[in-house]
């Protein structure tokens, strides 16, 4: 499974965290237009998500508060621009 499009399906409640088991298997999730859907998406930062018109917050944060994997460059957010800097340590 690579693409899941559930946009405009009248979904409601919190997005299920059990989707974490799909972490490396999904590259696109579309849930836009589900106005009563909230929570976060427990998938890889390499996953493109389209969630305008929902109560979702984007990707779930890990214990450091960064989006999953902390890879901002691949995070697609359709409600507002994502402009968090990511610290990189070389050495």
For residues 7 and 88, give the distance between their C-alpha atoms in angstroms, rounded to a whole number. Answer: 35
pTM for the whole structure = 0.65
pLDDT class of 5 with cuts at 50, 70, 90: very high
35-64 per-position pLDDT tens digit:
999 999 998 888 999 999 999 999 887 544
pLDDT class of 90 with cuts at 50, 70, 90: low
Least confident span in 23-32, 54-63, 76-85: 76-85
Other CB atoms within 10 Å distance of the CB of residue 19: 16
pLDDT mean across residues, the chain:
74
Question: Residue 69 contacts by C-beta under 8 Å, 6 or more apart in sequence?
Answer: 44, 45, 46, 62
């Amino acid at each position: 499974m690579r693409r899941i499009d559930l946009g405009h399906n009248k979904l409601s409640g919190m997005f299920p965290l059990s989707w974490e088991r799909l972490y490396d298997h999904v590259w696109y999730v579309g849930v836009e237009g589900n106005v009563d859907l909230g929570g976060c998406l427990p998938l890889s930062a390499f996953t493109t998500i389209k969630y305008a018109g929902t109560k979702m917050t984007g990707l779930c944060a890990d214990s450091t508060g960064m989006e999953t994997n902390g890879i901002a460059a691949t995070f697609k957010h359709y409600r507002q621009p994502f402009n968090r800097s990511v610290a990189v340590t070389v050495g």
